[in-house]
Structure 1
Amino acid sequence: MELGLFTGFLGFFVTALLLVIVFLYLYAIVTPYDDYKLIFEENNLAASLGFGGAIIGVSIPLYSALVHSTSYLDFAIWGLIAILIQLIFAFIVTRLGGKYSFKDKVSNGVISVGILMAFLSISIGLLNAGSMSY
Protein backbone atom coordinates (compact mmCIF):
# COMPACT_ATOMS: atom_id res chain seq x y z
CA MET A 1 0.00 0.00 0.00
CA GLU A 2 1.33 3.39 -0.92
CA LEU A 3 1.78 5.89 1.85
CA GLY A 4 0.28 8.60 -0.39
CA LEU A 5 -2.98 6.68 -0.69
CA PHE A 6 -3.21 6.33 3.07
CA THR A 7 -2.49 10.00 3.72
CA GLY A 8 -5.10 10.90 1.10
CA PHE A 9 -7.61 8.68 2.88
CA LEU A 10 -6.76 10.29 6.22
CA GLY A 11 -7.14 13.78 4.78
CA PHE A 12 -10.60 13.10 3.39
CA PHE A 13 -11.73 11.10 6.43
CA VAL A 14 -10.53 13.62 9.03
CA THR A 15 -12.07 16.47 7.02
CA ALA A 16 -15.39 14.61 6.84
CA LEU A 17 -15.30 14.06 10.61
CA LEU A 18 -14.51 17.71 11.20
CA LEU A 19 -17.42 18.71 8.96
CA VAL A 20 -19.76 16.49 11.01
CA ILE A 21 -18.46 18.05 14.23
CA VAL A 22 -18.99 21.55 12.82
CA PHE A 23 -22.49 20.50 11.80
CA LEU A 24 -23.25 19.20 15.31
CA TYR A 25 -22.17 22.50 16.80
CA LEU A 26 -24.10 24.64 14.31
CA TYR A 27 -27.21 22.44 14.41
CA ALA A 28 -27.48 23.03 18.16
CA ILE A 29 -27.30 26.78 17.51
CA VAL A 30 -29.84 26.71 14.66
CA THR A 31 -32.52 24.81 16.56
CA PRO A 32 -34.57 26.95 18.97
CA TYR A 33 -34.28 24.39 21.77
CA ASP A 34 -31.20 23.13 23.60
CA ASP A 35 -30.57 19.78 21.92
CA TYR A 36 -27.79 18.72 24.26
CA LYS A 37 -29.72 19.60 27.41
CA LEU A 38 -32.82 17.79 26.16
CA ILE A 39 -30.80 14.70 25.24
CA PHE A 40 -28.19 14.44 28.00
CA GLU A 41 -29.98 15.99 30.96
CA GLU A 42 -33.67 15.41 30.31
CA ASN A 43 -33.39 12.09 28.43
CA ASN A 44 -35.74 13.45 25.76
CA LEU A 45 -36.15 10.66 23.21
CA ALA A 46 -37.84 12.93 20.65
CA ALA A 47 -34.85 15.30 20.65
CA SER A 48 -32.46 12.36 20.42
CA LEU A 49 -34.29 10.88 17.44
CA GLY A 50 -34.44 14.22 15.64
CA PHE A 51 -30.77 14.90 16.33
CA GLY A 52 -29.76 11.41 15.21
CA GLY A 53 -31.72 11.86 12.00
CA ALA A 54 -29.93 15.16 11.43
CA ILE A 55 -26.56 13.41 11.80
CA ILE A 56 -27.56 10.77 9.25
CA GLY A 57 -29.11 13.48 7.08
CA VAL A 58 -25.84 15.39 6.83
CA SER A 59 -23.70 12.27 6.51
CA ILE A 60 -25.48 11.13 3.35
CA PRO A 61 -24.55 14.20 1.24
CA LEU A 62 -21.06 14.19 2.78
CA TYR A 63 -20.71 10.62 1.54
CA SER A 64 -21.92 11.70 -1.89
CA ALA A 65 -19.40 14.54 -1.91
CA LEU A 66 -16.64 12.09 -0.96
CA VAL A 67 -17.58 9.67 -3.73
CA HIS A 68 -18.11 12.24 -6.48
CA SER A 69 -15.48 14.86 -5.70
CA THR A 70 -12.67 15.39 -8.16
CA SER A 71 -10.26 16.82 -5.58
CA TYR A 72 -9.88 17.56 -1.90
CA LEU A 73 -10.97 21.17 -2.42
CA ASP A 74 -13.99 20.02 -4.43
CA PHE A 75 -14.99 17.75 -1.53
CA ALA A 76 -14.51 20.48 1.06
CA ILE A 77 -16.67 22.93 -0.88
CA TRP A 78 -19.47 20.42 -1.48
CA GLY A 79 -19.22 19.30 2.15
CA LEU A 80 -19.79 22.86 3.32
CA ILE A 81 -22.72 23.21 0.91
CA ALA A 82 -24.20 19.97 2.30
CA ILE A 83 -23.97 21.34 5.84
CA LEU A 84 -25.50 24.65 4.81
CA ILE A 85 -28.49 22.97 3.13
CA GLN A 86 -29.16 20.77 6.17
CA LEU A 87 -28.89 23.74 8.53
CA ILE A 88 -31.27 25.86 6.46
CA PHE A 89 -33.76 22.98 6.49
CA ALA A 90 -33.47 22.58 10.28
CA PHE A 91 -33.85 26.31 10.82
CA ILE A 92 -37.04 26.49 8.74
CA VAL A 93 -38.69 23.33 10.08
CA THR A 94 -38.04 24.12 13.73
CA ARG A 95 -39.59 27.55 13.31
CA LEU A 96 -43.01 26.28 12.25
CA GLY A 97 -45.65 27.44 14.67
CA GLY A 98 -49.07 26.42 15.84
CA LYS A 99 -50.10 22.81 15.92
CA TYR A 100 -47.11 21.93 13.72
CA SER A 101 -44.53 23.42 16.08
CA PHE A 102 -41.49 21.17 16.13
CA LYS A 103 -40.02 23.37 18.87
CA ASP A 104 -42.87 22.76 21.28
CA LYS A 105 -43.41 19.10 20.40
CA VAL A 106 -39.74 18.09 20.54
CA SER A 107 -39.18 20.07 23.75
CA ASN A 108 -42.15 18.23 25.27
CA GLY A 109 -40.78 14.85 24.19
CA VAL A 110 -43.40 13.94 21.58
CA ILE A 111 -41.65 10.93 20.07
CA SER A 112 -43.69 10.86 16.86
CA VAL A 113 -42.49 14.40 16.06
CA GLY A 114 -38.89 13.43 16.81
CA ILE A 115 -39.23 10.52 14.39
CA LEU A 116 -40.78 12.81 11.78
CA MET A 117 -37.91 15.29 12.23
CA ALA A 118 -35.41 12.46 11.78
CA PHE A 119 -37.10 11.19 8.60
CA LEU A 120 -37.39 14.70 7.18
CA SER A 121 -33.68 15.33 7.85
CA ILE A 122 -32.73 12.05 6.20
CA SER A 123 -34.97 12.81 3.22
CA ILE A 124 -33.42 16.23 2.76
CA GLY A 125 -30.01 14.59 3.04
CA LEU A 126 -30.88 12.14 0.27
CA LEU A 127 -32.17 14.92 -1.98
CA ASN A 128 -29.11 16.98 -1.11
CA ALA A 129 -26.81 14.08 -2.01
CA GLY A 130 -28.65 13.29 -5.24
CA SER A 131 -28.48 16.90 -6.32
CA MET A 132 -24.70 16.96 -6.02
CA SER A 133 -24.03 13.73 -7.91
CA TYR A 134 -22.74 15.56 -10.94
Structure 2
Amino acid sequence: MPAIVNYLLHLLTAAALVLVFFVIYVRVTPYDEVLLIRQGNCAAALSLGGALIGFSITIASALLHTLGYYEFALWAFGAMVVQVLVFAVTTSLLRMSKDQIEADNRAFGGLLGSISLAIGFVNAGCIS
Protein backbone atom coordinates (compact mmCIF):
# COMPACT_ATOMS: atom_id res chain seq x y z
CA MET A 1 0.00 0.00 0.00
CA PRO A 2 1.42 3.44 -0.87
CA ALA A 3 2.67 5.41 2.13
CA ILE A 4 0.16 8.25 1.66
CA VAL A 5 -2.77 5.82 1.60
CA ASN A 6 -1.44 4.09 4.71
CA TYR A 7 -1.04 7.47 6.41
CA LEU A 8 -4.57 8.56 5.51
CA LEU A 9 -6.04 5.24 6.61
CA HIS A 10 -4.37 5.48 10.02
CA LEU A 11 -5.18 9.18 10.41
CA LEU A 12 -8.84 8.76 9.54
CA THR A 13 -9.17 5.71 11.78
CA ALA A 14 -7.49 7.52 14.69
CA ALA A 15 -9.74 10.56 14.22
CA ALA A 16 -12.81 8.32 14.03
CA LEU A 17 -11.76 6.52 17.21
CA VAL A 18 -11.35 9.83 19.05
CA LEU A 19 -14.80 10.86 17.84
CA VAL A 20 -16.31 7.54 18.94
CA PHE A 21 -14.57 7.89 22.31
CA PHE A 22 -15.98 11.41 22.67
CA VAL A 23 -19.53 10.24 21.92
CA ILE A 24 -19.30 7.27 24.29
CA TYR A 25 -17.66 9.32 27.04
CA VAL A 26 -20.25 12.11 27.02
CA ARG A 27 -23.02 9.51 27.12
CA VAL A 28 -21.46 7.63 30.03
CA THR A 29 -21.02 10.69 32.21
CA PRO A 30 -23.95 11.63 34.47
CA TYR A 31 -23.90 15.25 33.27
CA ASP A 32 -24.03 17.01 29.91
CA GLU A 33 -20.43 18.19 29.35
CA VAL A 34 -21.15 19.90 26.06
CA LEU A 35 -23.98 21.97 27.55
CA LEU A 36 -21.93 22.76 30.65
CA ILE A 37 -18.94 23.81 28.56
CA ARG A 38 -21.16 26.02 26.41
CA GLN A 39 -22.28 27.67 29.66
CA GLY A 40 -18.66 28.34 30.62
CA ASN A 41 -18.19 25.47 33.07
CA CYS A 42 -14.42 25.02 33.38
CA ALA A 43 -14.67 21.87 35.52
CA ALA A 44 -16.49 20.06 32.72
CA ALA A 45 -13.92 21.29 30.19
CA LEU A 46 -11.01 20.10 32.35
CA SER A 47 -12.56 16.70 32.87
CA LEU A 48 -13.52 16.15 29.22
CA GLY A 49 -10.27 17.65 27.93
CA GLY A 50 -8.21 15.34 30.12
CA ALA A 51 -10.18 12.34 28.93
CA LEU A 52 -9.69 13.25 25.26
CA ILE A 53 -5.97 13.92 25.69
CA GLY A 54 -5.48 10.76 27.74
CA PHE A 55 -7.15 8.66 25.08
CA SER A 56 -5.24 10.42 22.29
CA ILE A 57 -1.92 9.62 24.01
CA THR A 58 -2.88 5.96 23.89
CA ILE A 59 -3.86 6.24 20.23
CA ALA A 60 -0.47 7.79 19.46
CA SER A 61 1.31 4.94 21.25
CA ALA A 62 -0.74 2.37 19.37
CA LEU A 63 0.19 4.06 16.10
CA LEU A 64 3.87 4.03 17.02
CA HIS A 65 4.15 0.54 18.44
CA THR A 66 1.94 -1.72 16.37
CA LEU A 67 2.94 -3.44 13.18
CA GLY A 68 -0.23 -3.23 11.14
CA TYR A 69 -3.53 -1.51 10.76
CA TYR A 70 -5.66 -4.20 12.41
CA GLU A 71 -3.31 -4.51 15.37
CA PHE A 72 -3.46 -0.72 15.79
CA ALA A 73 -7.25 -0.70 15.67
CA LEU A 74 -7.51 -3.54 18.17
CA TRP A 75 -5.17 -1.90 20.69
CA ALA A 76 -6.91 1.45 20.26
CA PHE A 77 -10.31 -0.10 20.87
CA GLY A 78 -9.01 -1.87 23.98
CA ALA A 79 -7.57 1.41 25.25
CA MET A 80 -10.95 3.06 24.74
CA VAL A 81 -12.61 0.42 26.88
CA VAL A 82 -10.02 0.93 29.62
CA GLN A 83 -10.45 4.72 29.61
CA VAL A 84 -14.24 4.48 29.91
CA LEU A 85 -14.03 1.81 32.61
CA VAL A 86 -11.58 3.87 34.65
CA PHE A 87 -13.92 6.85 34.46
CA ALA A 88 -16.84 4.70 35.62
CA VAL A 89 -14.85 3.26 38.53
CA THR A 90 -13.41 6.63 39.52
CA THR A 91 -16.73 8.43 39.57
CA SER A 92 -18.30 5.51 41.41
CA LEU A 93 -15.64 5.72 44.10
CA LEU A 94 -15.82 9.53 44.35
CA ARG A 95 -19.67 9.45 44.36
CA MET A 96 -19.97 13.21 44.00
CA SER A 97 -18.71 13.91 40.51
CA LYS A 98 -22.04 15.03 39.06
CA ASP A 99 -22.62 17.64 41.75
CA GLN A 100 -19.01 18.82 41.69
CA ILE A 101 -18.80 19.18 37.91
CA GLU A 102 -22.18 20.88 37.63
CA ALA A 103 -21.13 23.29 40.43
CA ASP A 104 -18.01 24.13 38.36
CA ASN A 105 -15.58 22.84 40.98
CA ARG A 106 -12.45 23.29 38.88
CA ALA A 107 -10.30 21.38 41.32
CA PHE A 108 -12.56 18.36 40.93
CA GLY A 109 -12.66 18.72 37.15
CA GLY A 110 -8.88 18.97 37.15
CA LEU A 111 -8.67 15.82 39.26
CA LEU A 112 -10.90 13.85 36.87
CA GLY A 113 -8.94 15.17 33.88
CA SER A 114 -5.63 14.29 35.55
CA ILE A 115 -6.80 10.76 36.32
CA SER A 116 -7.74 10.35 32.66
CA LEU A 117 -4.32 11.64 31.60
CA ALA A 118 -2.56 9.30 34.03
CA ILE A 119 -4.50 6.30 32.74
CA GLY A 120 -3.79 7.40 29.17
CA PHE A 121 -0.05 7.44 29.87
CA VAL A 122 -0.19 4.04 31.60
CA ASN A 123 -2.26 2.65 28.70
CA ALA A 124 0.23 4.07 26.20
CA GLY A 125 3.16 2.57 28.08
CA CYS A 126 1.51 -0.84 28.17
CA ILE A 127 1.18 -0.81 24.39
CA SER A 128 4.84 0.02 23.76
Alignment deviations for residues 103-133 of structure 1 (CA, whole Å, 9 cap, x no partner): 2111110011111111110000001111111
Corresponding residue for residue 106 of structure 2: 111
Asked if 1:123 is matched to 2:118, the reply is: yes
Give the fraction of aligned pairs with identical amino acids, expressed as a percent. Answer: 38
User: How much has 1:87 moved relative to structure 2?
Assistant: 0.6
User: How much has 1:95 moved relative to structure 2?
Assistant: 2.6
Matched to 1:62, the amino acid is: I
How far apart are the structure 2 equivalents of 1:107 and 1:27? Answer: 16
Larger radius of gyration: 1
Q: TM-score, normalising length from structure 2?
A: 0.95
Matched to 2:12, the amino acid is: V
Considering only aligned residues, what root-mean-square deviation do their CA atoms show, in Å? 1.3
Q: TM-score, normalising length from structure 1?
A: 0.91
Give the counterpart of 2:82 among 79, 82, 85: 85
Structure 1 gap segments, 5+ residues each? none
CA contact (8 A) 1:32 1:94 kept: no
How far apart are the structure 2 equivalents of 1:107 and 1:84? Answer: 25
**1:48-87 alignment to 2 at 5 Å?**
48-87=45-84
User: How much has 1:102 moved relative to structure 2?
Assistant: 1.7
Corresponding residue for residue 10 of structure 1: 8
User: How much has 1:97 moved relative to structure 2?
Assistant: 4.7
Structure 2 gap segments, 5+ residues each? none
Count of residues in Structure 1 that have an aligned counterpart in Structure 2: 128
User: How much has 1:94 moved relative to structure 2?
Assistant: 2.2
CA contact (8 A) 1:93 1:102 kept: no
Corresponding residue for residue 17 of structure 2: 19
Alignment deviations for residues 64-83 of structure 1 (CA, whole Å, 9 cap, x no partner): 10001110000000010111
Alignment deviations for residues 47-100 of structure 1 (CA, whole Å, 9 cap, x no partner): 0011000010100111110001110000000010111110111112223355xx
